[in-house]
Amino acid sequence: MALAGRAEAETAARTSAARFARSLADEVVMHERDQLARGAQNLRDTVERDTEAALRELLDALLAPGRAGIGLLESLAERRPGRR
């Protein structure tokens, strides 16, 4: 009789341990999935921000000669003799 009770208790303990292990594994998977999702979002935000900054710098560099030319023309127009 005592051996039967012990066997039942061991079976119950194994079942509980297995359920606990599955539950713990599920929590770890959810935590890691959330961490990966946050990391992916952070990476996406960084890439968007850096790309926007690089495009802005590229546009400034491409427009700089035109701005210099306009500035030169304005300067020459201001110095034009007979201008009122």
- Greatest mean pLDDT range, 1-5, 59-63, 70-74: 59-63
Those residues whose C-beta lies under 8 Å from the C-beta of residue 77, and which sit 6 or more positions away, are: 83
Q: What b/e sequence results for 26-64 when a residue is b if at least 16 CB atoms lie within 10 Å of its CB, and e otherwise?
A: eeeeeeeeeeeeeeeeeeeeeeeeeeeeeeeeeeeeeee
Cα of first residue to Cα of last residue in the chain, in angstroms, is: 119
Question: Per-residue confidence at 65, pLDDT binned at 50, 70, 90?
Answer: confident
Does position 81 have pLDDT exceeding 80, yes or no? Answer: no
Spatial distance between the Cα atoms of 13 and 18, rounded to a whole number of angstroms? 9
**Model pLDDT for residues 12-54, shown as the tens digit of each residue:** 999 999 999 999 999 999 999 999 999 999 999 999 999 999 9
How confident is the model at residue 68, as a pLDDT? 84
